[in-house]
Structure 1
Amino acid sequence: MTFDRSVKIAPSILSADFANFGQEIQAVEAQGADWIHVDVMDGHFVPNITFGPATCKAIRPHVKTVMDVHLMIAPVDPYIEAFAEAGADILTAHLEAGPHIHRTLQAIRGAGCKAGLALNPGTGVEDIAYLLDMVDLVCVMTVNPGFGGQAFIDLSAKVRRLRQMIGDRPIHIEIDGGVTPATAPLMVAAGADVLVAGSAVFKGGSVANPAPYGENIAAIRAAVA
């Protein structure tokens, strides 16, 4: 993965057909997705359960771009190795998920993955000032994590502050939650360069009819151009 700040669209497979992940990933990549975002939830840190390392390993051969794995789980550390072995390119852990985030980020990089750090809507960015040299991505949650399809929380000021703090470091700012053609421009203007979109990408399409995926991705791109 070479670093650049061009806007990347990362469809979340949380909104895909769970019975058809391989073909869904192939379809959405063919329609212009830059990354594939995988939301891992444990029913403990967040109020929902999705999938684990075995699912990531099964879908990895279908992902030709970047597999961006967002761990909404606590504890995180015991599972880092399994998700790394499953083929994650980026592993993102939540600041709020454990007391030793520094160790967690070290372990993610030690396992050969890019290290991401996610922040819930109520968490301030000043808390991560001493972690910026250990991360490759900061994920700003613009919904409270746990479910797809929630209403967007405008955290433009938070993203702008984060962008100032990052300076010239090669760190992506990812936005996760409620991204649409209406909300994406606010976040890109504030400094974001990775947009996770679930329902906004997958709505109206299917493996049999993937064209809407491309239209939805194009609409987000046009909105932020």
Structure 2
Amino acid sequence: MCVNTKENKPMNCLAPSILSANFANLEEQIKILDEAGAQYVHFDVMDGNFVPNISFGVPVLNSVRKYTDRMIDVHLMVDEPIRFIPDFAEAGADIITVHAEACKHLDRTLEYIREQGVLAGVALNPSTPLSMIEWVLPKVDMVLIMTVNPGFGGQRLIPYTLEKVAQIKSLIEKKGYKIDIEVDGGINLSNVNKAVEAGANIVVAGSAVFGGDIANNVENFLEILN
């Protein structure tokens, strides 16, 4: 769970997506995130097949791990992600999230993530029903609700996805599970409060963090979140 380590209480956390960072200054920008208080680093992996874009791989994660001691949240937007789980775990991922839509055997894939000693996350695209993950929730540490169609940064949040966040929050509470809820896509300072009100406690933000003064943007997000 995303918690305040000093008070050991649940809290809302910011996960800046380095997909929107300046790759030529990645180390410097990650250090700015750390100093400003961002709790996570969101690391998007795209294969050009499951989503229409290509991003980073294991070598980049190896470097990012050296730059920060924050939680690194690896989001595998790839077909059959089970193939890549050991390598990303070894490279320093703290959480590995796979898409339910991309797994032939989702239950086994989630088990495999935990076998590597890291936390397991499951993601759903905007139009994918929650019923697709209901039975695997006991094997999940985080549910990621995509609030845009995945593949590119800078998109607008799809409004109905917040109702989906509220529904998964209700289901998790009804079952008594301790599972983080993350939202990813189109999150900015104007709508982040709506995402939190719906039930999210981890917020991914890309262009809204890296566009302009990074430290100031992080501080503004954290002020709203907590």
TM-score range, shorter chain: over 0.9
Residue 88 of structure 2 corresponds to which residue in structure 1? 83
RMSD: 1.4
Q: 1:83 & 1:152 partners in 2: Cα distance?
A: 28
For structure 1, the 5+ residue unaligned runs are 205-211
Residue 121 of structure 1 corresponds to which residue in structure 2? 126
Measured after TM superposition, the shift of residue 59 of structure 1 is 1.2
Residue 185 of structure 1 corresponds to which residue in structure 2? 193
User: Once superposed, which parts of structure 1, at least 4 consecutive aligned residues long, lie more than 6 Å away?
Assistant: none
CA deviations on 1:40-80 (whole Å, 9 max, x unpaired) are 10101000000111110111011221011000011211110
Which amino acid counterpart does residue 199 of structure 2 have in structure 1?
G
Q: Are 1:163 and 2:169 an aligned pair?
A: yes
Measured after TM superposition, the shift of residue 214 of structure 1 is 2.2
Q: Secondary structure at the match of 1:103?
A: helix
CA deviations on 1:129-157 (whole Å, 9 max, x unpaired) are 10110000000000100001011112221
Of 94, 111, 117, 2:99 maps to 94
Measured after TM superposition, the shift of residue 224 of structure 1 is 4.1
Contact 1:56–1:87 under 8 Å retained in 2:
yes
Q: Does 85-94 or 95-104 show the bigger shift? A: 95-104
* Percent identical: 45
Q: 1:170 & 1:152 partners in 2: Cα distance?
A: 26
Measured after TM superposition, the shift of residue 170 of structure 1 is 1.5
Q: Does 42-51 or 121-130 show the bigger shift? A: 121-130
Residue 223 of structure 1 corresponds to which residue in structure 2? 224
CA deviations on 1:145-202 (whole Å, 9 max, x unpaired) are 0001011112221111100111132210000001111111111001100000000011
1:125-144 correspondence runs (5 A): 125-144=130-149
Residue 35 of structure 1 corresponds to which residue in structure 2? 40
